[in-house]
Amino acid sequence: MRIHTQTRADSIKQEANTSKQAEDDTGAVIVQTAPGKVVTHRGGSITLPCRYHHEPENTDPARIRIKWTKVTDALQFEDVFVALGRQQRVFGSYRGRVFLEQAGPSDASLIIQNVTLEDYGRYECEVTNDMEDDTGFVNLDLEGVVFPYYPREGRYKLNYHQAEDACKQQDAILASHSQLHKAWLDGLDWCNAGWLEDGSVQYPISHPRDQCGRKDNPAGVRNYGYRHKEDERYDAFCFTSKLNGKVYFLKRFKKVNYVEAMKACTRDGSAVAKVGQLYAAWKFQLLDRCEAGWLEDGSIRYPIVNPRSRCGGSQPGVRHLGFPDKKFRLYGVYCFRKSKDETAGGNEITKSITDSLTRRESNNSTPMNSTKVI
């Protein structure tokens, strides 16, 4: 995988997802992308729309170069896909699940299958005709949930890289500012500051109070700005999406300690659930359980969708009871079992791509996907 670190400031300053008018008609190429953003979930398929045309229309298709690049908030550029005529190349983690839609002669739209959490972000579609080129941008969003996270060691113990690893260990990624802002709009209220994926430190306040965001300040997302990634320490805000599997509370007559919890899930054909998996189950599975249970990181939590008396307070959410001694036999356990199609691995992905290509060659139809443009 190649990572470009040049700024390419002129390209970024262009307004995203809009078509641009050529200054002349001497072989100019014009790229058009969809307004707004496209939305899917982890494990789904998505089309990043991009079309182009020339002025005048007299260009040899074999000389058209199509390039897709992912652009990070830090203005780094990650190669995704490039095509020149019939020659194509896919880069890095996108191999085996990315290809052109090719719904027509001027279609540069890109299909991504088996979408991952890391696929979230902003993509650049660049079309080049000899010396002329144009670009457009597509924002790929994921349906998901943001959750605050800190380790057993306590609050404000993570530098940026440790926060990034902590989220990955819990089946999540560091959240973006837009994801945290959306979570705040949905009611997330958290007093402790945490890292975001762009290296900034923020926290969402829905109900300002003196000890939390200052009572005389309006509600909002408080921002400490960009902090030193190695030396400064905070919590983390993680983001996860839909599961390809199921989280469940393992019914047992006796409470278990941490080691017994791990063995119990293994005997049931599962593994102890991660924090991100429990949040995803709460969000998408509507998992609602009053019983506290062990999770993989040694914490004790339980998910509440419908608050009721003696069951976790007045608001829905995932309750956190801390990190008790792992020898305590005071709790149950939440297990995670993968779906059968996930355990089948890449064969399902390869088959899906092959079937899509076969349909396209036979009737030039658009492969099925879960694109939603908003």
pLDDT in tens, 254-283: 999 999 999 999 999 999 999 999 999 999
240 phi and psi angles, rounded to 5 deg: -135, 170
Q: Which candidate, 89, 84, 50, 86, places its Cα nearest to that of 65?
A: 84
CB atoms within 10 A of CB 353: 19
Least confident of 79-83, 289-293, 347-351: 347-351
Q: How confident is the model at residue 3 (pLDDT cuts 50, 70, 90)?
A: very low
Domains of the chain from N-terminus onward = 29-142 (2.60.40.10), 144-240 (3.10.100.10), 242-338 (3.10.100.10)
Q: Is 327 helix (H, G, I), strand (E, B) or coil?
A: coil
Mean pLDDT of 336-351: 61
Q: Which candidate, 160, 224, 228, places its Cα nearest to that of 192?
A: 224
Q: Which residue has the tokens 């921002």?
A: 223
CA–CA distance, 237 with 244 (Å, rounded to integer):
22
Q: Which residues pair with 304 in a beta bridge?
A: 317
CA–CA distance, 240 with 146 (Å, rounded to integer):
7
Contact predicate 235/193, CB 8 Å: yes
Check whether 94 has a pLDDT greater than 60.
yes
| The pLDDT value given to residue 140 | 97
